[in-house]
Amino acid sequence: MQYQIIGEPTPVAQCTLDSGESMKTESGSMVWMSPNMGMSTNAGGSVGKALGRMLTGEKMFQNVYTAQGGSGMIAFGSSFLGSIRAVQLTPDKPIVCQKRAFLASEMGVELSIFFQKRFGAGLFGGEGFIMQKLTGNGLVFLEIDGYAVEYDLAPGQTLIVDTGALAMCDSTCSIDVQAIKGVSNVLFGGEGFFNTKITGPGRVTLQTTSVRSFAQQLIPYLPAKG
């Protein structure tokens, strides 16, 4: 399978598949394809797995697209202004992502629930207790809100980020929260009560905005309900 990521801030991942090759995606992510791409819809395994995907912000059913009778082309589009990142997974290097991050992947990739180990990180960390965990072997495309900025953290190296800024990280990283110090900083700083603390080793991808923060910025401009 070959691919190219086209355009920002509303990108698509355009993939060229060999005959018989398949990809899976969240339903509704396909934006265009060649006429020889066959589609099937399923729950992606057991009912438990389907419900697990719903808890991570994805839809219950997935679509599988297969190139038939020759090579085929298909493009998957992001649902919000931002970036698409392609990550090559191997069995020894799973990754953890924000909810809704999964866009499409090769068939060897599995999506499951990742529970925050620390109570504080789950309660105040911006993504709740549940995130996505991607494992297996294959290429996966992930949605990033806004632009993506990557860091490689050494063992013990720490990065403090705004809640909701964490898009994905290696599973070797630990996630916790850190309270903002100073009453005046909390009350008037506009940054809330907590920041997210990420500790290496591992690769971290941050996003410059989020759907949640974008929606909050729009609230003052929405008409009041009568």
Question: Which of 163, 141, 143, 161 has its CA nearest to residue 204?
Answer: 161
The pLDDT score that the predictor gives to residue 69 is 96
Cβ–Cβ under 8 Å, residues 24 and 62: yes
Q: Which of 36-45, 76-85, 173-182 has the highest mean pLDDT?
A: 76-85
The pLDDT score that the predictor gives to residue 122 is 46
Provide the residue type at 25 as one letter: T
Residue 70's pLDDT band, with cuts at 50, 70 and 90, is very high
Question: Which of 152, 163, 169 has its CA nearest to residue 96?
Answer: 169
Tens-digit pLDDT profile for residues 176-199: 877 665 445 444 444 555 778 899
Tell me what the mean pLDDT of segment 189-210 comes to: 80
Sheet arrangement for strand 174-179: 158-162, 194-199, 174-179
Secondary structure, 3-state, 18-61: CCCCEEEEECCCEEEECCCEEEEEECCCCHHHHHHHHHCCCCCC
Q: Which residue has the higher pLDDT, 224 or 105?
A: 105
Residue 36 has pLDDT above 60, yes or no: yes
To 5 degrees, how large is the angle CA 177–CA 182–CA 184?
A: 120
How many Å apart are CA 88 and CA 15, to the nearest integer?
A: 15
Least confident of 6-10, 29-33, 94-98, 196-200: 6-10
The domain at 2-221 falls in which architecture?
4-Layer Sandwich (3.60)
